[in-house]
Amino acid sequence: MVEKYKLSNNESHQITRDSIIEAFKILSKDRVVNDISITELCAKAGVSRAGFYLNFKNLEEVMHEITKETIEDFFVDIYDEYGKDDSLDFWKPAVDFILKHEDFYMSIINSKEEIYYLDQMCKKFGETVNKRVSMNKMEYYFWSGGLFMMVRAWLLGGKKEPIEDLIRVLSPSN
């Protein structure tokens, strides 16, 4: 006899959340984030509006979840391994990470979420970087904002400048 497998409420909610997040990422590749509707997102994710509202308050909250996830990935994938110094060993993988997540960065740029992203990035830098480098809060905002604006200009400009030019600005000692 085959036993039926029933998901717990937590497992069911996680699957719904993941479906909504992935559908949002797909829709935001080709569209300005602010033009995506909850109805369209639910249809793409294969969930009901009730399922959406059980997991998220609004579309901004979905974007915030993706932002936190991407920032966390950056620190796990790049910063923890390479961020010990301000060299090519750090900046090359960091720029590669941005290219790997270009759709996300373009969706941030094409939304009203740039300030939220910068704020979250600065908070994460504050939690992480201070263990290695003594900086104050304003310095985190200065460097994060400058980095973000440089990457923003590069992406919006069609990535015409070679990656090496970005890295040279970020790591002038090399």
pLDDT digits (tens, 9 = 90+) for 10-27: 888 889 999 999 999 999
Supply 92's token pair: 């090359």
My answer on whether 84 and 43 are in the same domain is no
Angle at alpha carbon of residue 131, lines to 127 and 132, rounded to 5°: 125
Number of domains in the chain: 2
End position of a domain, from candidates 32, 56, 80:
56
CATH code assigned at 49: 1.10.10.60
Looking at residue 43, what is its pLDDT?
96
End position of a domain, from candidates 16, 31, 56:
56
My answer on whether 30 and 93 are in the same domain is no
For the whole prediction, is pTM greater than 0.85?
no
My answer on whether 51 and 67 are in the same domain is no
- CA R_g for the chain: 19
Give per-residue pLDDT as tens, 81-131.
665 555 566 777 888 888 888 888 888 888 877 888 888 887 887 777 666
My answer on whether 78 and 7 are in the same domain is no
CB 110 within 8 A of CB 30: no
- The residue range of the domain holding 18 is 1-56
Alpha helices in 46-136 (DSSP H): 49-55, 59-74, 80-82, 88-100, 102-109, 114-129
Q: How far is Cα 96 from Cα 94, in angstroms, rounded to an integer? A: 5
Give per-residue pLDDT as tens, 31-82.
777 889 999 999 999 999 999 999 999 999 999 899 889 888 887 777 666 6
Q: Which stretch of DSSP H or E encloses residue 91?
A: helix 88-100
Q: How far is Cα 39 from Cα 18, in angstroms, rounded to an integer? A: 17
Does pLDDT of 174 surpass 60? no
